[in-house]
Structure 1
Amino acid sequence: MNLNDLILFAQAVDSGGFAPAARRFAVPKSTLSKRVAALEESLGVRLIERNSRSFHLTETGRDFYEHARAALIEVESAQQVVQQRLAEPSGTVRITAAVPVVQFLLAPHLPALARQWPRLLIQMHASDRFVDLVQEGFDIAVRSHFAPLADSGLVQRKLMDEAVWLVAAPSLLKANGTPRKPADLLNHPGLLTSPEAPSWTLRRDDGATETVTLPPRLVADESVALLQAASAGLGITCLPQSICGHHVASGDLVRVLPRWCAGNVTTTALVPHRRSLLPSVRAVLDFLSAHVSAPTQLTPLRSRPP
């Protein structure tokens, strides 16, 4: 017996005939009639007496309808189970990101993500090495970058753009003076990310650009180290707003040359195509898009020694 025919039979009876059922379910009337006739043939019994003016169940048809209706209810219940699971994502979602991205962009939002979707298990992997999502089985990578990402065949969703600020401790500016123009930076020690990159290309809010080279005081390829060194008054450094904004707001750091920035950082979520179809992955992506849209600062270490 074709179970689809059983369902069509129950729907025709519920609707009071083939014509109203056809209108209700957008199925041709002829199709309904043929499928019910095929059901009757497979059972070897007449279920419905119908002609141009009447539609009523036979005695056997009434008994059969009670069971068909129960089967239809079970089908609807099965659909609801699936819809509920789609409405409430579940399972494991593995996310990878660089250590600063985890500390300053993702960590503040993970508790809210876990509370919103209690059936999800989030596995957060922090690593500054390049991670191959497909080969290593990750669902989402969150990456911050200055240049556009190469077309890697991954689904890309931009989460946010933020400016890179020049910041320094108030004590340093009090001792060396507050820069009023980019050339004044030469009177201050620099905290750099690499000895091979001693210069900063600055852009003013009106589009003007200048390149400056500060005398190096400390070199570190790790954002928290630069943040701590700047807070200690060792020099001026460049950091994304999400990393240094909290310290600027608290007064531990001062934004130097506030009309200028040292570029912009884009944060993008990357997902393998097949993984992007999973409801659990889509739910996490939607959450990140809604919440990682403006810098939210986290202070993972004390900004000053006790």
Structure 2
Amino acid sequence: MLDLNDLYYFSVVVEKRSFSAAAEVTGVPKGTLSKRMRALEQTLGLRLANRTTRTFSLTEAGEDIHQHCLRVMNEVRGAQMAAQARLSEPVGRVRITCSGEMVSMALEELMPRFLARYPKIDIVLLTASRYVDLVDEGFDLALRSHTAPLQNCSLIARQVAQTHCILVASPAFFADGEPSTPQELDGVAGLQLKRADLASVWRVHASDGRTAAVTFHPKLYSNSARLARKSAIAGQGVALLPQPLCCDDIAQGRLIRVLPDWHIPRETLSLVFPSQRGMTQALRTTVDFLADELPGYLSQ
């Protein structure tokens, strides 16, 4: 198997027509270069150059091999330039995973703006209701909401915002009177924007430090924020939804906030990616854009 370093050294010696000049360019002693030339000739079984202390000339075989070396070196330089371009210019594909509600809350507005600003970046955005293994499943970036610190120490997590969920319902759902305490809400039809294997309980907190658990009847379990929101507007129950998703509905009177003096603990939103080492400029640009823009959408 040919040593590509030997091909490189050979091409430089030919270009400079001197081992001494080639040594200055490569930083490799001329004795080492001469030795590598002999090793290349032995590997090929051909004499590539006629050389004396004063002259250096290629044999016919050397001329032929040199032309191949030039093509190889050009491909290597092209690969290096392509890698440098990806590190210096935002170009390429970025694969993102996040929850469906994150798309509804912010990304369906942000992504078209991002694509218009960075036309050389392609986005693959897939939603999932679970934590995706970025490395095994080939993703570059995840948007994750969490209450406890993320545990995977091999990943980089950049906290960018706090997300706030509230209890909402149609005004018609409480036509006989809205509940004023968590106890009055016990047993209500709940529209849960989470997995079906979670407990059917909402844990709420008051500003004075009191806490309470509201047990609800799971009328609907779904990972679709749009479905939960529309079901609440249709009067099918009380939904726990991210506040940005329903602030317009509250302002327009389609929904009311249930137990407004009580709140659900906030979650942290983090941008998670495998490593900053070798991070492409396309991914870095995407992370920086989302870190700048997401707080404005999630703080409503």
- Same structural fold, with TM-score higher than 0.5 when normalized by the shorter chain: yes
Which letter does structure 2 place at the counterpart of 1:179?
A: P
Give the AA of the match of 1:153.
S
Stretches of structure 1 that go unaligned for 5 or more consecutive residues are 6-80, 298-306
Q: Equivalents in 1 of 2:136, 2:236: separation in Å? A: 42
Aligned to 1:252: 254
- Asked if 1:179 is matched to 2:179, the reply is yes
Aligned CA distance change for structure 1 residues 154 and 82 (closer, same or farther; 3 Å): closer
CA distance in 2, matches of 1:114, 1:202: 39
Question: In the superposition, relative to structure 1, how do residues 91 and 255 fare at CA in structure 2: closer, same or farther (>3 Å)?
Answer: same
Counterpart CA distance in 2 for 1:115 and 1:221 is 32
TM-superposition CA deviations, 1:23-73 (whole Å, max 9, x none): xxxxxxxxxxxxxxxxxxxxxxxxxxxxxxxxxxxxxxxxxxxxxxxxxxx
Q: Tell me the CA shift for residue 270 of structure 1.
A: 0.9
Aligned twin of 1:25: none
Question: For residues 171 and 84 of structure 1, do their structure 2 counterparts lie closer, same or farther at Cα, with a shift above 3 Å needed?
Answer: same
Work out whether residues 217 and 234 of structure 1, in 8 Å CA contact, stay in contact via their aligned partners in 2. no
Quote the residue 1:189 is aligned against: 189
Give the secondary structure class of the aligned counterpart of 1:284.
helix
What letter corresponds to residue 297 of structure 2 in structure 1?
P
Q: Percent identity?
A: 34
Q: Where in structure 2 are there 5+ consecutive unaligned residues?
A: 1-20, 28-81
Aligned: 1:139 with 2:143? no
| TM-score for the superposition, normalised by structure 1 | 0.63
CA deviation map 1:88-143 (0-9, x unaligned): 41111111112222232322100111122122111212233442211222111112
1:161 corresponds in structure 2 to 162
Quick one: distance in 1 between partners of 2:155 and 2:189?
Answer: 41
Q: Aligned-pair distance for 1:238?
A: 1.2
Distance 1:90 1:272, change over 3 A: same
Is the CA contact 2:156–2:274 (under 8 Å) kept in the aligned structure 1? Answer: yes
Is the Cα contact below 8 Å between 2:204 and 2:262 reproduced in 1? Answer: yes
Task: Report how far residue 3 of structure 1 moved.
Answer: 5.5
Question: Closer, same or farther in 2 for the Cα pair 1:83/1:4, shift >3 Å?
Answer: same
CA distance in 1, matches of 2:215, 2:138: 42
Contact 1:160/1:292, CA 8 A, preserved across alignment = yes
Match of 1:225 in 2: 227
CA RMSD of aligned residues (A): 2.9
The Cα of 1:200 is off from its aligned counterpart by 1.5
Q: CA deviation at 1:178?
A: 1.6
Counterpart amino acid of residue 93 in structure 2: T
Question: SS state of the match for residue 111, structure 1?
Answer: helix
Residue 190 of structure 1, CA deviation: 3.0
Is 2:213 the counterpart of 1:211?
yes
The total of aligned residue pairs comes to 220
Give the alignment's TM-score, normalised by structure 2: 0.64
Give the alignment of 1:45-56 within 5 angstroms. Answer: none
Q: 1:196 to 1:144 in 2, by over 3 A?
A: closer
Partners of 2:137 and 2:296 in 1: how far apart?
A: 29
